[in-house]
Structure 1
Amino acid sequence: MNNDQGIKWLQFRFLFPAILFILLVNIYPFLSGILYSFKDGTLLKPGAFVGFANYVRVLEMDEFWHSFSFSFWFALFSVIGSYAIGLFLALLLNIDIPGKGLFRVALLVPWVLSSVVSMVGWRWMIGSQSGVVNTFLQTLGFEPILFLSDEKWAVFSVIMVKIWRSYPFMMVSLLAALQSINHDLYEAASIDGAGRWRSFLSITLPQLKTVTFVCWIMMSIWSFNDFDVLYLLTGGGPIDATENLILMSFNYAFVKDSIGVGAVLAILSLIVLMVLAVILLRVQKKDK
């Protein structure tokens, strides 16, 4: 064995524990999930091989298409809302204002708080007619709103809470990108007579394109796959109005004890997210 081969073998020996860990933690559960999707059983009894019967069963379920539709709209409005708020706050924090450091810390609170603590707080505020929000509305002469008991209001509520949880990520990412823009571009635009709005459209937004696409991709995946907000706030209710594919997969696998259907739902969610990521990356590449 020559010196180069010895170095490569030594490198492999150092990398082998990490490779083994990745295989055990990521690859093995993934392959197990695919195998479970072709069987009809429970967590304790894998059951018999049924081929694509579970896939056909899921695609024929009205519950699946409702959950898929909700997952799509939940992700879409969460991304749009969190990006709009994050961009506005990033622009605000990018200028010299008194107490800017304090505002940055305060605006990061929704991101820093644990999901359990934040969702308990939201349930306390909007979960009943005697909650803080409904108490305030009643003092103004309005009727209390069943935020988590009415289907439409529950959908609205979980989207608003998801935006509240997500905007700090958008804000931090966009603020970092704003601070990297060359100020000479704005000075040149000012000399040419461009106002703030024209400079924003012609300089700021184009300079933020790369970061924007990355944030959209990541936030789309996180929102489509969101579990903690929906599970802790509504549990998918009322009447499955706020049940996305991931929560539906959890319910079938661990509550309804149908591991095959649960695995199919998880795999279909993965396929949708992969298609979404490829589309966004192609759009970014074409734009460049």
Structure 2
Amino acid sequence: MSRKVGRNRHSYRRRSRVHSRVFPFLLVAPTLLLFIAVVAYPFAQSLLYGLFDESLLDTGGARFTGFENIASLLSSSHFWSVVQNTVVFVAGSTLGAFAIALAAALALNTGIRARTAWRSALLVPWFLPGVVVAFLWRWIFDANYGLANGVLDWIGIDSVNWLDSPSFAMIAVIIGKIWHSFPWMMLLILAALQGVPAEVYDAAAIDGASGWKQQVYVVLPQIRPAIALTLLLETIWGLQHFELPYVMTGGGPVGATTTLSVDLYQSAFHKFDLGQAGAIGILWTALMAGVVAIYLFYSARQEREAQK
């Protein structure tokens, strides 16, 4: 009898160990399957198109071409013009939004009056959908009845044809992106600022640091990881951004605001060239992977310095 009880206990313990190992995977399985079906598989398939000569207008079927589509893009002046537009758009919108977000976060971290109301008001642009923001700024920069030209006329400056000028269209799109992006960056930086211990401020005051010197030389170094993460996320989202340049200008005029996201969309759904669109996707992914690699290298170096 005791042997039978012992075997039952051993069997129960073994089943419990198996269940404890399998149960976490069962919890993750639905999310993982959904991710594979909705994100991973379509993403891999879209990249795979870049290795084929395939068009929706060609009924002859796909033809494997290897890296010919990528080589064709890399030798195309149009592609490098699109890359330049993308870099200008991402750099301008990211740095502009970061400057405003940092200034707003530093102000809200002080004893400013009605801080809660200011925080709520400054977060409004972030809550709006990207398409709504695009139409809003398209109206603001409209050459005939836009608010921007109305202000210029009021102060005695000639109107500007914002969205139809190669010189001003990118500026208009960047301004719209800055307005849409700075609130979430402000929120992340503000959270990091509020995590700085009070002792740091006290020590800085004892050493004679106050005002902007205290913020620049004492507080900001404390939140460098949060700043780096904020810039990384905004850079990646800027590389992926589609709504503002497409809705505001359609990538024009004369391709002045055509970014990688817009160019990929036009290749796939205007030219119906899936091979070229897939090749753009491959190079686009490589560019974002490079940005992430730079961040990981920076984070690893910061950790090594912190351990010394």
State the TM bucket, normalised to the shorter chain. over 0.9
Instruction: Indicate how the Cα distance of structure 1 residues 14 and 164 shifts in structure 2: closer, same or farther if over 3 A, else same.
Output: closer
Instruction: Indicate how the Cα distance of structure 1 residues 18 and 133 shifts in structure 2: closer, same or farther if over 3 A, else same.
Output: closer
Aligned to 1:265: 280
Aligned to 2:95: 80
Aligned to 2:37: 24
Is the partner of 2:156 in helix, strand or coil?
Answer: coil
Aligned to 1:51: 66
User: Could you state the TM-score of these two structures normalised by the residue count of structure 1?
Assistant: 0.94
* Deviation readout 1:165-213 (Å, 9 max, x if unpaired): 1110111001111111111211122122223233222321111101001
* Deviation readout 1:127-181 (Å, 9 max, x if unpaired): 2233222122123222110110100100111111111111101110011111111
Please say if 1:5 is aligned against 2:10: no
Aligned to 1:175: 190
- Asked whether the equivalents of residues 94 and 231 of structure 2 are also in contact (C-alpha less than 8 Å), the reply is yes
Of the structure 1 ranges 23-32 and 270-279, higher mean CA displacement relative to structure 2 is found in 23-32
* Deviation readout 1:77-116 (Å, 9 max, x if unpaired): 2111111100100011111222211111111111111122
Counterpart residue type for residue 20 of structure 2? I
1:240-251 matches, cutoff 5 A: 240-251=255-266
Instruction: Indicate how the Cα distance of structure 1 residues 139 and 33 shifts in structure 2: closer, same or farther if over 3 A, else same.
Output: same
Please say if 1:91 is aligned against 2:106: yes
Aligned to 1:233: 248
Counterpart residue type for residue 265 of structure 1? I
Counterpart residue type for residue 103 of structure 2? F
Provide the C-alpha distance between the structure 2 equivalents of 1:271 and 1:110, rounded to a whole number of angstroms: 30
Provide the C-alpha distance between the structure 2 equivalents of 1:49 and 1:229, rounded to a whole number of angstroms: 35
Counterpart residue type for residue 212 of structure 2? W
| Matched pairs, number | 288
TM-fit CA distance, 1:65:
0.1
Please say if 1:150 is aligned against 2:170: no
Please say if 1:39 is aligned against 2:44: no
Is the partner of 1:51 in helix, strand or coil?
Answer: coil
Provide the C-alpha distance between the structure 2 equivalents of 1:279 and 1:156, rounded to a whole number of angstroms: 27
* Unaligned ranges ≥5, structure 1: none
TM-fit CA distance, 1:235:
1.0
Instruction: Indicate how the Cα distance of structure 1 residues 194 and 140 shifts in structure 2: closer, same or farther if over 3 A, else same.
Output: closer
User: Could you state the TM-score of these two structures normalised by the residue count of structure 2?
Assistant: 0.88
1:99-178 matches, cutoff 5 A: 99-178=114-193
Provide the C-alpha distance between the structure 2 equivalents of 1:85 and 1:229, rounded to a whole number of angstroms: 19
Instruction: Indicate how the Cα distance of structure 1 residues 197 and 280 shifts in structure 2: closer, same or farther if over 3 A, else same.
Output: same
* Deviation readout 1:214-257 (Å, 9 max, x if unpaired): 00110010111110111111111101100111110110011110
* Unaligned ranges ≥5, structure 2: 1-10, 304-308
Provide the C-alpha distance between the structure 2 equivalents of 1:35 and 1:82, rounded to a whole number of angstroms: 35
Provide the C-alpha distance between the structure 1 equivalents of 2:255 and 2:36, rounded to a whole number of angstroms: 35
Aligned to 1:206: 221
Of the structure 1 ranges 25-34 and 176-185, higher mean CA displacement relative to structure 2 is found in 25-34
